Amino acid sequence: MTLHNLIDTSYQMFIEHTKKARITLLHPRSRYRSVLIARLISDPDIKTFYYAMGSDDVNVPSFLAGLTHDLADQFPLFGRNLNQTRYETLGDLNFLINTLAGDLAELSQEPYVLILDEYDRGDAADDLQAFIEKLVPALPDQCRLVINSRTLPRLPWVSLIAQKQATMLEDNILVSSDFYGVETGGTPELEVFALGPGYVLLDNDQVSTWEGHLPRLLFFFALDRPIVTRAEICQAFWPELDTDQAVNVFHVTKRRLHKALDFDVLVHDGGYYRVNPNVSIHYDIMDFVGALVEGRAAEGDAAVAAWQRAIDIYRGPFLQGHNDPWIIERREDFRSGYLEALTEMAKARKSDGRAEHALGLFLRAITENPRREDLHREVMKLYAELGRRSEAAAHFQRLEEDLATTYETEPAPETRALYNEIMS
């Protein structure tokens, strides 16, 4: 393949996947990142807005000031809401996220792409990383965010991809494994399982010398992102302690983690902590998210195989039995991916004429999210197709009762219309 054809292929894939996810990362390993960005900006068929981050983007207020200034040059009315923000609200991330989302909604009523170029210039800004992470689900429907960076941004990419919020591209390759660039050929060998109660195998033996649950959870937290700061760790685990106390507890916990695995698991590099890159790690979360990516990209038998692999890997909720806020958040992220796999597999079995198998999968999906009325309707249709009309009616009646009791609402009009159709 010639260079010209390779760039053409990479660009077409780039545009295709930009439409599917709220945030697209041109992976730092990409050779043609800058070429693709330049081509996107000059594409007459795609509306784009561009912001190159600079050395002044050291926190959220500085980032918003620079973004507002540059986007106002491209769309004079941009920043109407942000410019009215009072000084005392600049520390309220949620308020600023909603305010920026409102301004982005006014940029264009048509689909458009917002490019954040040279994103690595903001790597050191902890609050900016948290801001972008929370901004992704708040983006208006017509907005797609593209990030170009020389380093891997400090965002929880595997969970964003599991939710179908993000995608990673390496030129003409859709990244479906090794999301964080962790080496897999070193020693010792670790097998890490977070779906379910959570446990670790070291050279095929289960680790049981954790001295409490915190060292083990610290390890899982470090696997969540490419790199983490000590401040992020302390905020997630000991938000009620002052800084000095939290730092002391962190170092004690880190020593216990290293003692349990008999080597330095967390290494400090350039002000950040990351899992030792020389360790061979097999992590079930990476396998699970990789299967989701492959299922979304494939068709036919290949897609079915990928969805089935995701279902098989999901042995239970993320770190089941623990209820730390960061764990609950990740649990829902991965649960949404599992729900997607069940639903897509059920649709495939239904199209194959395997109604009973599809019914079982839809019922499993409903247990993961009982409020998904589209899944309830699929169950009712399958009951009716199988000649089990009374079970379809009973299913609707249970749904109606559950919605009234638990959520003080009632079935959607299309669900009730389907019930009436089946009963007639």
Q: Give pLDDT, residue 388.
A: 95
317-361 pLDDT, tens digit each: 999 999 999 999 999 999 999 999 999 999 999 999 999 999 999
DSSP class of 79: T
Q: Give pLDDT, residue 4.
A: 82
Which residues, in sequence order, are CB contacts of 179 under 8 Å at separation 6+?
Answer: 157, 158, 161, 168, 286, 289
* Average pLDDT estimate for 68-75: 96
How many beta carbons lie within 10 A of that of residue 19, not counting itself?
Answer: 11
Q: Give pLDDT, residue 182.
A: 65
Q: Give pLDDT, residue 270.
A: 84
Residue 87 has pLDDT above 60, yes or no: no
The DSSP bridge pattern shows strands 280-283 and 166-170 to be unpaired
* Average pLDDT estimate for 28-41: 95
Under the banding of pLDDT at 50, 70 and 90, the label for residue 90 is low
Write down all domains in the chain, each with its CATH number in brackets.
3-174 (3.40.50), 311-316+323-423 (1.25.40.10)
Q: Taking Cα atoms as reference points, which of 392, 401, 409, 338 lies closest to residue 367? A: 338
Residue 1 has pLDDT above 80, yes or no: no
Which residues is 10 bridged to in the sheet?
none
